[in-house]
Structure 1
Amino acid sequence: MNIAPQRVVTLHYLLQDARGNVLDDSRSRDTPLEYLHGHDNIVAGLERALDGQPEDAVLDVTLTPHEAYGERDEARVQQVGRDAFPSDRLAPGMRFQTQGDAGPEIVTIVAIDGDRVTVDTNHPLAGETLSYRLDVLEVRDATRAELAKGHPLPPDTDHSQVEDRKLI
């Protein structure tokens, strides 16, 4: 079966930056990635590269910043009050998830000066050229419940019960 919209794809990946530094490796966790193709579950450039690929495909894909997490935008580095954070224990490099204008976003603390905290709301990989090594393990049709949720459901989910509740 080939990768196409409305199908669940299971794959292992190795992610590296342009310098060859390993940023993430699903095999190191022995946990493959599972996503619903065509539902914006992964970076758009990666989804385009995978579209139409068969089960057992092995791909090397390099994405420009535009195809991955976008270019860095220095206007997204700003100062906020220390009281904007849920904890008093703050340090440069700490990351928090917050609700931005376009949905959830990661905020990275850049510096702390008294009650002022400099944060960067760019995605941590913004501006990076990224290389992926992809091993497609499985491609299957999504269940109605997965299509309704917009993402794969855990293996132990009783899809019929989820679907029945959704239909009521």
Structure 2
Amino acid sequence: MEIAKDCVVQFHYSLKNSNGVELETSHGGSPMAYLHGHNNVIPGLEEAMAGRNAGDTFSVTVPPEKGYGEFREGMLQRVPVKHLQGAKRWRPGMVAQVSTDKGPRAVRVVKVGRFMAEVDFNHPLAGQELTFDVEVVAVRAARSDEIAHGHAHGEGGHQH
């Protein structure tokens, strides 16, 4: 089955920055799953997936505007340390998760005080050109509940 809108895609990937440094990989774990055509992965990766089939392997380099966006100045904000999720002790450079009115958001810790932290709301990968090495593991038609919810369910996808 060819990857198209309303397909659930399972894939393994390795993500590298423009210097070739591996930032993350799914190898050694379960493949990632997403519902194609529903903005569940960055645009540049989703575009590169279209038309592929299970068993395909490829590399794609994604510019910032089709990835996590350009780096924007003025995205610093002070938040209570107790609102940072992901660690017990915080240091500059660490990535935390905070809850916003638009859902959870990754932020980079810039400065930490006793009660307040200064965080950068740019995505930690904003402004970077990224290369994905991808192996498409499986492709199937989405179920009606997955389409209604806008995401894949089951292994590698969202668990309800």
The two structures have a TM-score, normalised by structure 2, of 0.84
- The residue type equivalent to 2:18 in the other structure is A
Q: Give the aligned CA root-mean-square deviation in angstroms.
A: 2.3
Match of 2:48 in 1: 49
Match of 2:20 in 1: 20
Task: Indicate how the Cα distance of structure 1 residues 56 and 103 shifts in structure 2: closer, same or farther if over 3 A, else same.
Answer: same
Taking the aligned partners of 1:25 and 1:92, their CA distance within structure 2 comes to: 24
Q: Offset at 1:81?
A: 5.0
CA offsets 1:58-94 (integer angstroms, 9 cap, x no match) = 1110001111000111211233455655798432233
- The residue type equivalent to 2:55 in the other structure is D
- The residue type equivalent to 1:40 in the other structure is N
Task: Indicate how the Cα distance of structure 1 residues 62 and 91 shifts in structure 2: closer, same or farther if over 3 A, else same.
Answer: same
Taking the aligned partners of 1:142 and 1:6, their CA distance within structure 2 comes to: 6
| SS of 2:14 mapped into structure 1 | strand
1:130 aligns with 2:119: no
Structure 1: any 5+ residue segments left out of the alignment? 156-161, 163-168
1:44-123 matches, cutoff 5 A = 44-80=43-79, 82=81, 85=84, 89-100=89-100, 102-113=102-113, 116-123=116-123
CA offsets 1:24-72 (integer angstroms, 9 cap, x no match) = 1111x33111111011111111101111112222111000111100011
- The residue type equivalent to 2:47 in the other structure is R
1:145 aligns with 2:149: no
Match of 1:2 in 2: 2
- Identity within the alignment, %: 38
Greater shift, 100-109 or 61-70, is seen at 100-109
CA offsets 1:110-145 (integer angstroms, 9 cap, x no match) = 113565522111111001100011111111001112
Conserved 8 A contact 2:83-2:98: no
Taking the aligned partners of 2:45 and 2:6, their CA distance within structure 1 comes to: 16
Taking the aligned partners of 2:15 and 2:24, their CA distance within structure 1 comes to: 5
Taking the aligned partners of 1:36 and 1:88, their CA distance within structure 2 comes to: 34
Greater shift, 79-88 or 128-137, is seen at 79-88
Taking the aligned partners of 1:97 and 1:151, their CA distance within structure 2 comes to: 21
The two structures have a TM-score, normalised by structure 1, of 0.80
Taking the aligned partners of 1:141 and 1:83, their CA distance within structure 2 comes to: 42
Q: Offset at 1:18?
A: 0.3
Task: Indicate how the Cα distance of structure 1 residues 94 and 142 shifts in structure 2: closer, same or farther if over 3 A, else same.
Answer: same
Task: Indicate how the Cα distance of structure 1 residues 150 and 20 shifts in structure 2: closer, same or farther if over 3 A, else same.
Answer: same
Task: Indicate how the Cα distance of structure 1 residues 140 and 115 shifts in structure 2: closer, same or farther if over 3 A, else same.
Answer: closer
Higher helix share: 1
Taking the aligned partners of 1:70 and 1:5, their CA distance within structure 2 comes to: 23
